[in-house]
Chain A
């Protein structure tokens, strides 16, 4: 039996955040696309699953965009379609991403009934100035209101935080963490603000309207977060992810452990049978499915050696480490690099397992590009 995860990309937002480089469309212009988008999505699900059998679905994840923006009736359609192929109630984790301004009690009650059992709330920061600076639609008050609603319905809630905002200091960061902990989520993802080319924030940085934290400040910030969360009963299990015991994200663990996944929706990615697929954008997506074609924009088949390296690097993100017995196809040069990193104390080897050290985590991006 093949075990896979499912990702569904809902590419709509009220407003695009200044740092976001994901595929999304501001709905002011594109609201009419909802129905046709859902019809296409249903068709995509149908095409995929009528070809496959003997599958077990590990998890479903609705990401975006802002998945909570579309009406629950659309989710009902999606779940009805899923139930034609497998029993959704067997799936351990079904997550939806939400932004505070879209959290309504009735909607989330309905979603729970359909089978969604985990919510990932985009909080980012509790500082209203920074929320504005980042181009977020909500304010801190909305966060508390949203959490109150969600907690009355769901047990398993994640909140997303961002650190490294221009003007932010460790004091402000501590305040964010205190408020986040007060809300008692079971899972916290905290990201170092990135400045991607093509985002407004990147432009702001270039014209020096804002600045980037220094290396040392970022290092201190990260270690501060880590200590604070660990002291509050969280387990640090992936570079950017912390959870209470038993609440690690099944869906995301599947990515890091090299599991297969099918991505539905515009611009989503699939990893299936050693091949990576990427769907096209909304127009391409709708047009392809209209012709009963899967909306692949790109397809990439990689060598086993290459896939092994990629999966190794992904696995290394987990603090539980990489079991070397699992990766046999790696060349001598790769081991030589690993040994150098071990010598420098950036990687730790215990028995036959490889872990990033804390110093290693801090420069993990460089280590990954070294190893690739």
Chain B
């Protein structure tokens, strides 16, 4: 069969999107307009960040004098938070190009993606990109790749000027095995991604392993047993292109008027509804959100608009979850779950930029497992929903295995950074004489906020990391509440280690003191653990404001001014009788 299903795996910025563009060009798919940017990165945010968030497949036709090949290039997202999506995309392929930047070398995501490809038994073709750059270190990077993969045949390319790209394509055709042809079996197709179309509903991106799928067929989604009738089948060119059917080995899409994105789960298997006993493909799991934060409209009137925006956003990113939340301090909003902190950043930015939402995002937290005295285990994703301490037997927190690659001169810095974040050393290995892989175990809560920035700053921008959550461990954790004039502020509650509680709550109180303007009366700020006050600050009342004069002409001018102040006040939240500016609720975010 003249089909090759493959993917390119690389660390961020190693030139994957440019290489995709070259492949497209060779196969005559790019238009000059698209040449500007990178054809497969759809979202503006992706372009700006230079990373691909959503995988997006494309079907290429590679013509040789006597032959032609169909190449399904399945693009993968390139960031830590999306490793499950990467792994599903990879399982739709038979081979990968492992792309490494000649100026950077093997990085954390190169490692993790390589291991994912190996787990999936894929043919791996290593390639070094950007070999034309003046600071390319081809030999060293070659050594690194050989050490990692044991493969000595490494393609040297420059996707920018096209050098070696044709040969690489030839190599893919020669080395990546064609898909098995199981057309006689009953339908089995893998969902590796989806997007939403307002007319056709959810469009599932699929790889057919067994049998075929065609228009009018009734299919079943294995995980939820829901049955839908296929209304359209097709393949990916730069747009969707309708086709008769998709057969064993092919990659394409189906539409079946599926209205709820929740029904389509990445990794799920599509089967024929007449053959419900078909065995599913291995490796499916429901995506688990690990980072949680609340999103509130800046003014209460913004709630409905925010809901609509989240609904829309969700259609194209069912990996995040949201449900309405009514906060005592911040009013109506949503509690949201994300795959990681980058995922949170992306959702936040898309809400702000694409949907023009004016929002407040609270401090991100992870999920905790609380074992109650009756041995019941509950999951807590919102500190304010923590059970009463008298009912808690123990609290377990997620622990991540983290791998960091850094130039060896920064080992000390990185170790210090990790140890400050309560990480435990596991292993250290030299990739090459100048670069090291450090492996640690770290409480996941310690890497969801600002870890990336801190790592970059202690390694002068060279450090990279990847992680996976491996286990749950009992932790000496407490919930800290913040009170303003005796009223508990739910949005400021947080969970921390008991030996950090005092320092952290003091810092928050001091921040709050600076951010809350003087009121007409004294304001008392307190932090509390299990009913015990552990820190206190106060804001003296306003003693004197400007004594403004007010005569005929002043009436209108003053009123305008007072009304303006009032507009500003709308952005304040009332906690009891205290006006608290929105940004005070973010005080907690500025902590380590």
Is chain B found bound to chain A in the same assembly? yes
Which residues in A have some Cβ–Cβ distance to B below 8 Å?
5, 7, 9, 22, 63, 189, 191-192, 194, 215-216, 218-219, 222, 239-240, 252, 255-256, 261, 263, 267-269, 271, 276, 278, 300, 310, 314, 317, 340-341, 344, 346, 361-370, 372
Q: Does B559 contact A (CB under 8 A)?
A: yes
Residues in A with CB closer than 8 Å to B544 are: 215-216, 218-219, 222, 362-363
In the assembled complex, the CB of A229 is this many whole angstroms from the nearest CB of chain B, namely 14
Known: A314-B555, A372-B559. A366 touches B520 (CB 8 A): yes
Q: Do A366 and B545 have beta carbons less than 8 Å apart?
A: yes
Q: Do A365 and B520 have beta carbons less than 8 Å apart?
A: no
Q: Do A341 and B548 have beta carbons less than 8 Å apart?
A: no
Q: Do A192 and B520 have beta carbons less than 8 Å apart?
A: no
Q: Which of B545, B547, B555 has the most CB of A within 10 A?
A: B547
From B542, B549, B577, give the contact of A366 (CB < 8 A). Answer: B542
Task: Pick out which of these stretches binds chain A: B158-166, B216-224, B275-283, B560-568.
Answer: B560-568
Instruction: List 16 A-B residue pairs with CB atoms under 8 Å apart, sorted by A's residue number.
Output: A7-B552, A9-B553, A22-B553, A191-B549, A192-B548, A215-B542, A222-B547, A239-B549, A255-B555, A276-B556, A310-B555, A314-B550, A361-B547, A363-B545, A365-B547, A368-B562
In chain B, positions 533-560 with a C-beta closer than 8 Å to chain A are: 542-553, 555-556, 558-559
Residues in A with CB closer than 8 Å to B548 are: 192, 194, 365
From B520, B565, B577, give the contact of A346 (CB < 8 A). Answer: B520
Residues in A with CB closer than 8 Å to B550 are: 239, 255-256, 314, 317
Q: Do A255 and B556 have beta carbons less than 8 Å apart?
A: no
Residues in B with CB closer than 8 Å to A215 are: 542-544
Chain B residue with the shortest CB-CB distance to A259: B552
User: Binary interface profile of B, 572-586, with partner A (CB < 8 Å = 1, else 0)?
Assistant: 000001000000000
Residues in A with CB closer than 8 Å to B559 are: 310, 372
Q: Do B520 and A367 have beta carbons less than 8 Å apart?
A: yes
Residues in A with CB closer than 8 Å to B542 are: 215, 363, 366
Known: A192-B546, A365-B545, A369-B565. A252 touches B551 (CB 8 A): yes
Known: A344-B521, A372-B563. A364 touches B551 (CB 8 A): no
Residues in A with CB closer than 8 Å to B563 are: 372
Q: Do A191 and B565 have beta carbons less than 8 Å apart?
A: no
Q: Do B562 and A369 have beta carbons less than 8 Å apart?
A: yes
Q: Do A278 and B556 have beta carbons less than 8 Å apart?
A: yes
Q: Do A271 and B520 have beta carbons less than 8 Å apart?
A: no
Known: A194-B546, A240-B547, A366-B542. A263 touches B520 (CB 8 A): no
In the assembled complex, the CB of B563 is this many whole angstroms from the nearest CB of chain A, namely 7
In the assembled complex, the CB of B239 is this many whole angstroms from the nearest CB of chain A, namely 54
In the assembled complex, the CB of A64 is this many whole angstroms from the nearest CB of chain B, namely 11
Q: Do B555 and A364 have beta carbons less than 8 Å apart?
A: no
Residues in A with CB closer than 8 Å to B543 are: 215-216, 219, 362-363
Q: Do B566 and A240 have beta carbons less than 8 Å apart?
A: no
In the assembled complex, the CB of A360 is this many whole angstroms from the nearest CB of chain B, namely 9
Residues in A with CB closer than 8 Å to B545 are: 362-366
Q: Do B547 and A364 have beta carbons less than 8 Å apart?
A: yes
Known: A366-B542, A369-B565. A269 touches B520 (CB 8 A): no
Residues in B with CB closer than 8 Å to A218 are: 544, 547
Question: With A and B bound together, what is the CA distance between A314 and B552 in angstroms?
Answer: 10
Known: A340-B577, A344-B520, A368-B562. A271 touches B546 (CB 8 A): no
Q: Do A269 and B547 have beta carbons less than 8 Å apart?
A: no
Q: Do A191 and B520 have beta carbons less than 8 Å apart?
A: no
Residues in A with CB closer than 8 Å to B577 are: 340
Question: With A and B bound together, what is the CA distance between A268 and B569 in angstroms?
Answer: 30
Residues in A with CB closer than 8 Å to B520 are: 341, 344, 346, 363, 366-367, 370
Question: With A and B bound together, what is the CA distance between A372 and B559 in angstroms?
Answer: 8
Question: With A and B bound together, what is the CA distance between A372 and B577 in angstroms?
Answer: 16
Residues in A with CB closer than 8 Å to B553 are: 7, 9, 22, 263, 267-269
Question: With A and B bound together, what is the CA distance between A344 and B555 in angstroms?
Answer: 27
Question: With A and B bound together, what is the CA distance between A310 and B561 in angstroms?
Answer: 13
Chain A residue with the shortest CB-CB distance to B565: A369
Since A276-B556, A364-B545, A372-B562 are in contact, a sample of 20 more A-B pairs with Cβ atoms closer than 8 Å, ordered by chain A residue number, is A192-B547, A215-B544, A216-B543, A219-B544, A222-B544, A239-B549, A268-B553, A269-B552, A269-B556, A271-B555, A300-B556, A314-B555, A340-B577, A346-B520, A361-B547, A362-B547, A363-B545, A369-B565, A369-B569, A372-B566
Chain B residue with the shortest CB-CB distance to A163: B547
Chain A residue with the shortest CB-CB distance to B560: A300
Q: Do A269 and B555 have beta carbons less than 8 Å apart?
A: yes
Residues in A with CB closer than 8 Å to B546 are: 192, 194, 365
Question: With A and B bound together, what is the CA distance between A177 and B544 in angstroms?
Answer: 21
Question: With A and B bound together, what is the CA distance between A341 and B542 in angstroms?
Answer: 13
Question: With A and B bound together, what is the CA distance between A363 and B569 in angstroms?
Answer: 17
The 7 nearest A-B residue pairs measured at CB: A219-B544, A192-B547, A365-B545, A269-B553, A362-B544, A369-B562, A369-B565
Q: Which of A9, A22, A269, A369 has the most CB of B within 10 A?
A: A369
Question: With A and B bound together, what is the CA distance between A363 and B545 in angstroms?
Answer: 5
Chain B residue with the shortest CB-CB distance to A372: B562
Question: With A and B bound together, what is the CA distance between A269 and B557 in angstroms?
Answer: 10
Question: With A and B bound together, what is the CA distance between A317 and B555 in angstroms?
Answer: 12
Question: With A and B bound together, what is the CA distance between A296 and B496 in angstroms?
Answer: 62
Question: With A and B bound together, what is the CA distance between A317 and B550 in angstroms?
Answer: 9
Residues in B with CB closer than 8 Å to A263 are: 552-553
Residues in A with CB closer than 8 Å to B549 are: 189, 191, 239-240
Residues in B with CB closer than 8 Å to A9 are: 553
Question: With A and B bound together, what is the CA distance between A310 and B566 in angstroms?
Answer: 14
Chain B residue with the shortest CB-CB distance to A194: B546
Chain A residue with the shortest CB-CB distance to B564: A369
Chain A residue with the shortest CB-CB distance to B561: A369
Question: With A and B bound together, what is the CA distance between A216 and B550 in angstroms?
Answer: 23
Question: With A and B bound together, what is the CA distance between A239 and B563 in angstroms?
Answer: 21
Known: A218-B544, A364-B545. A369 touches B552 (CB 8 A): no
In the assembled complex, the CB of B548 is this many whole angstroms from the nearest CB of chain A, namely 6
In the assembled complex, the CB of A261 is this many whole angstroms from the nearest CB of chain B, namely 6
Residues in A with CB closer than 8 Å to B521 are: 344
In the assembled complex, the CB of A358 is this many whole angstroms from the nearest CB of chain B, namely 11
Residues in B with CB closer than 8 Å to A363 are: 520, 542-545
Question: With A and B bound together, what is the CA distance between A268 and B557 in angstroms?
Answer: 11
In the assembled complex, the CB of B453 is this many whole angstroms from the nearest CB of chain A, namely 33
Question: With A and B bound together, what is the CA distance between A75 and B520 in angstroms?
Answer: 47
Question: With A and B bound together, what is the CA distance between A368 and B565 in angstroms?
Answer: 11
Question: With A and B bound together, what is the CA distance between A9 and B554 in angstroms?
Answer: 13
Chain B residue with the shortest CB-CB distance to A371: B562
Chain B residue with the shortest CB-CB distance to A195: B546
Question: With A and B bound together, what is the CA distance between A91 and B52 in angstroms?
Answer: 80
Q: Do B562 and A255 have beta carbons less than 8 Å apart?
A: no
Question: With A and B bound together, what is the CA distance between A112 and B556 in angstroms?
Answer: 32
In the assembled complex, the CB of B244 is this many whole angstroms from the nearest CB of chain A, namely 67
Residues in A with CB closer than 8 Å to B555 are: 255, 269, 271, 276, 310, 314
Question: With A and B bound together, what is the CA distance between A216 and B549 in angstroms?
Answer: 20
Question: With A and B bound together, what is the CA distance between A17 and B27 in angstroms?
Answer: 76
Question: With A and B bound together, what is the CA distance between A344 and B476 in angstroms?
Answer: 43
In chain B, positions 312-363 with a C-beta closer than 8 Å to chain A are: none
In the assembled complex, the CB of B547 is this many whole angstroms from the nearest CB of chain A, namely 4
Residues in B with CB closer than 8 Å to A372 are: 559, 562-563, 566
Known: A346-B520, A363-B542, A369-B566. A191 touches B552 (CB 8 A): no
Chain B residue with the shortest CB-CB distance to A366: B545
Question: With A and B bound together, what is the CA distance between A125 and B395 in angstroms?
Answer: 69
Chain B residue with the shortest CB-CB distance to A221: B544
Residues in A with CB closer than 8 Å to B552 are: 5, 7, 255, 261, 263, 268-269, 271
In the assembled complex, the CB of B524 is this many whole angstroms from the nearest CB of chain A, namely 15
